[in-house]
Amino acid sequence: MNGNILEKIKDKILDNKDEILETIERGKEYIVAEMDSEKVLGDIVDQANSIYETQICNLLNEKELERLLKIDQAIKRIEEGVYGICVICGREIEEKRLLAIPETNKCVVCKSTEETRKL
């Protein structure tokens, strides 16, 4: 893979990581604020809405944490010199795919096969 392209992808991966960390931090701040606001007794509907919003925030944070793990794995693959190689078949992952989804570790064919099996 071209060194310039790899550097561009690595920058994109690091930017994505920063965005996710910021999203998680905002989620934590929101939950803390909600918990503080619950100290002031509201009616049952307000409390139910607050619990629901907190649960949604937790689900979003779980998804972000999963993506963060994939990003860290991509950074490790770059450092090891194996970035852009499909972990399933061992072939090179298309450059277009890596630019679109830089944390991916599977080529289109293997990912498609994986998704089909889930159905």
Higher pLDDT, 109 or 3: 109
Q: Give residue-wise pLDDT tens across range 69-119.
A: 999 999 999 999 999 999 999 999 999 999 999 999 999 999 999 999 987
This prediction has a pTM of 0.71
The average confidence (pLDDT) of the chain is 84
| Structural domains of the chain in order of their starting residue, each with its CATH number | 3-118 (1.20.120.910)
CB-neighbour burial class of residue 62 (10 A; exposed 0-12, middle 13-18, buried 19+): exposed
Q: Give residue-wise pLDDT tens across range 17-73.
A: 999 888 878 877 766 666 566 555 556 666 666 676 767 666 667 788 888 899 999
Cα–Cα distances in angstroms (integers) from residue 67 to residues 43, 63, 102, 105, 118, in the given order: 37, 6, 11, 12, 19
